[in-house]
Amino acid sequence: MTWQTPDHIIRKRIVAAEAILNGQVDLRGYPYRLISISSTRGMGTDKITRLLAAAEVLEAFGWKLLTVNNSEGAWFYAVLRR
């Protein structure tokens, strides 16, 4: 997983769960109230487990989980609000 720059995250409004879990993300300068997390790694329940773990990491920084969605079975998304 490559480092996701703040500029990339701001433009896309999405961040990889793996980047959050690996400590490669700094959202202090993120200007929006909503952000999405994506999870594509793993098989079966591994994706949702990683997604929820990343959401819990962000909860420590004031983010609240709003919803989780499965997109075509390959991707899981979560939307959070600060």
pTM: 0.87
Distance CA 70, CA 77 (A): 6
Q: Domain count of the chain? A: 1
Question: Considering the domain boundaries, does residue 1 fall inside one?
Answer: no
Domain of 66, in residue numbers: 6-35+46-72
Question: Considering the domain boundaries, does residue 78 fall inside one?
Answer: no
Question: Considering the domain boundaries, does residue 15 fall inside one?
Answer: yes
Write down the pLDDT at residue 5.
81
For 28-66, how does the pLDDT look when each residue is reduced to its tens digit (9 = 90+)?
A: 889 999 999 999 877 778 888 999 999 999 999 999 999
Structure tokens at 44: 């079966």
